[in-house]
Structures are given as structure tokens and as C-alpha cells.
Amino acid sequence: MRAIEEGADGLECDVRLTRDGHLVCVHDRNLKRTSNGRGLVSAKTLAELESLNFGSWHPAYPENEDLPDLGRLLTLDRLLTAVRDCGRPVHLLIETKHPSRYGADVERKLVAMLRRHGLADNRPDNLVQVTVMSFAALALRRIRALAPAIPTVYLLEILPPGVGRGRLPFGARVAGPGVGLVRSKPGLVPALKQAGHRVYVWTVNEPDELELVLEHEVDGVISDRPKFVLDRLAQV
């Protein structure tokens, strides 16, 4: 929640489904890099994952007292509760990770949880507004079918056929190119915007990257350094 404290408009998280059907906010499919465990997230139960330390890889662990929960597994349920309780508008971007052994269950479980929290319809009076992102076009089609009010972002690391001319797959409403793709394909953002699509760019952490996306007048900037981005935007 430090990003919210620093003034960020929202948060981004990745979700995976555990063996016993819980959505957890874990980026990697394998536990080795970001925890003291081994094996696949999808092969573990929630209880097994909660017994692991997810913070020991971090350079600030355990000396930084400002990060008391760094080692604790974050579930999507806990994150939704936290952002709802923060008392101000928050835009939450949730990436569903694929391929997954559970296929469409990832999106089904996600929409069911959003409904339990009253967030599946994105009512204007909701302080928390949810957007779902994925590299998998099929996942975005599922979201559009299950919860049509939720905006969807098609994440791009390489350029699929047609997208360079501004076409997004059915189910996708926003383009989400990586900053490296924006740099290597200077005509991409103009083509997407000319086709009427909003553009969110990830992960913008360096000054030259931020200047690039500001030149393109993108609609959203995803960064690990929210204060750095906000300080620059304050100068615009």
C-alpha cells in the first residue's frame, strides 16, 4: 500500500489460482525466485503457500522496519479488502496469469470474488474501480462475457499480427504494450490511439522511458516507482 500513500492513482497485481481454488498475488509460476519454497504456485494449497516466506529475496528484508509484512503471502481477498478500506479512489489493475492448469477457472474465480466485494459492475460510486489485464486474449474474452462492465487490457510484449495497425482482439478494450515495444515500434501508440483505443504502458521506471511515454500522451503509466512518475507529472 506504499504506492497509495505516495499518491499513486492505483495498484497493479498478478493473480494465480492455488490447488484449492484461492487467488493469490504472485507473479512467477514457480516459487523459487520470490520465496523460500519450491515447485509451482498452482500445485500448492493456500495453507502451504502461507507457510512460506515471500520477502527474503528483497534487498530491504528484514532490516527495513517500514516493510513489516514483506514476507507474508498476499491473497487477492486481502488486497481487495485493503484497497476498499483505504478511504479514497483507487484504480486496481489485476493481471490474470496464463497459461494455467486451471484455464477459465482463473477468470471465473476472479469475477466471483469481485462480485463478493461489490466490484464486478464498476459502479461510478465505487471508490475502487477494477480493470483486468492479460497477455492471453482468451482470458479477456472470458472477462467480457462474465463481467461486461470491467475494462480489459491486452498486454503486449511482442507485436501480434494486426495490432500494429491498431486492431485489438475481441474482448480487449485497452492496449497494454511494454515500454520496450513502444520504443522499438514508434508507430504503435499513434496507431492504437487513432483507432480509438486507450493505451497503458508498463513498466516505466527510468527517466528516458517516462519521457518517451509522455511524448506519446499515453493514458496510463505502470511503474514500480510511483513517486518518481508523480513528481514528473507535476511538472507537466
Cβ proximity of 168 and 175 under 8 Å = yes
Residue 132 lies in a domain: yes
Count how many residues are written for the chain: 236
- CA nearest 212: which of 232, 197, 191? 232
pLDDT at 104 over 80: yes
Q: Cβ atoms within 10 A of the Cβ of 212, count?
A: 18
The Cα 36–Cα 71 span in angstroms is: 10
- Per the rule left: phi > 0, alpha: psi between -120 and 50, beta: everything else, 118 is left
Residue 156 lies in a domain: yes
pLDDT at 193 over 50: yes
Which structural domain, as residue segments, surrounds residue 134? Answer: 2-26+76-233
Residue 68 lies in a domain: no
Residue 189 lies in a domain: yes
Residue 65 lies in a domain: no
Residue 52 lies in a domain: no
Residue 70 lies in a domain: no
Q: Which of 71-75, 130-134, 158-162 has the lowest mean pLDDT?
A: 71-75
CATH number of the domain that residue 149 is part of: 3.20.20.190
Residues 77-103, mean pLDDT to the nearest whole number: 96
Residue 128 lies in a domain: yes
Structure confidence at residue 59 as a pLDDT band (50, 70, 90): low
pTM value is: 0.92
Structurally, the chain folds into a number of domains equal to 1
